[in-house]
């Protein structure tokens, strides 16, 4: 019977539900292949980082449901979810991922716009006269 692991990864407003099972190394994102959903090599490498670190790229199939945020935040949310799912399957991998910083959710969020101003930090131009 194939082992199955499920975890959630997050980044900014993006949230990714990750399902890991033993297989041939296929990664499906929202029902599409990883090459189709994340067209750039940089985003694909971001997602594959946790699998590459522990040499498990050809061992697990990954199915992901991801939404919210932009493509970069979604890729980082998927990476976070894969790392967490791998730790659930094999707790001995925890120190390896912890050292690489893959288990820590990036807490940075968008700062809210302040009233009476055009943005979060930007101010209207000062006029002396």
User: From the CB of residue 88, how many other CB atoms can be counted at a distance below 10 Å?
Assistant: 15
How many structural domains is the chain composed of? 1
In a domain, 128, yes or no: no
In a domain, 124, yes or no: no
In a domain, 22, yes or no: yes
The rounded distance, in Å, linking the Cα atoms of 3 and 22 is 6
In a domain, 110, yes or no: no
What are the angstrom distances between the C-alpha of 9 and each of 58, 83, 87, 106, 129? 21, 9, 13, 10, 52
CATH code of the domain in which 61 resides:
3.30.230.10
**Considering the entire predicted model, what is its pTM?**
0.90
In a domain, 118, yes or no: no
In a domain, 113, yes or no: no
Domain region containing 68: 4-100
Whether the pLDDT of residue 90 is over 50: the answer is yes
pLDDT (0 to 100) of residue 1: 45
More confident residue, 2 or 95: 95
CB 9 within 8 A of CB 46: no
Dig out the tokens for 52 from the structure: 């590459």
Dig out the tokens for 65 from the structure: 């449901």
Closest CA to 93 of 7, 2, 11: 7
Whether the pLDDT of residue 2 is over 70: the answer is no
In a domain, 120, yes or no: no
In a domain, 91, yes or no: yes
């Amino acid at each position: 019977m194939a082992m199955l692991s499920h975890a959630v990864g997050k980044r900014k407003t993006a949230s990714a539900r990750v399902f890991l099972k033993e297989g041939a190394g296929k990664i499906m994102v929202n029902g599409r292949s990883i090459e189709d959903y994340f067209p750039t090599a940089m985003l694909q490498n971001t997602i594959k980082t946790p699998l590459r670190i522990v040499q498990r790229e050809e061992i697990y199939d990954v199915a992901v449901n991801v939404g919210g945020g932009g493509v970069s935040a979604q890729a980082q949310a998927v990476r976070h979810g894969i790392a967490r799912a791998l730790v659930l399957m094999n707790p001995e991998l925890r120190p390896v991922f912890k050292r690489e910083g893959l288990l820590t959710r990036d807490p940075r969020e968008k700062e809210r716009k302040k009233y009476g101003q055009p943005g979060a930090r930007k101010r209207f131009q000062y006029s002396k006269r």
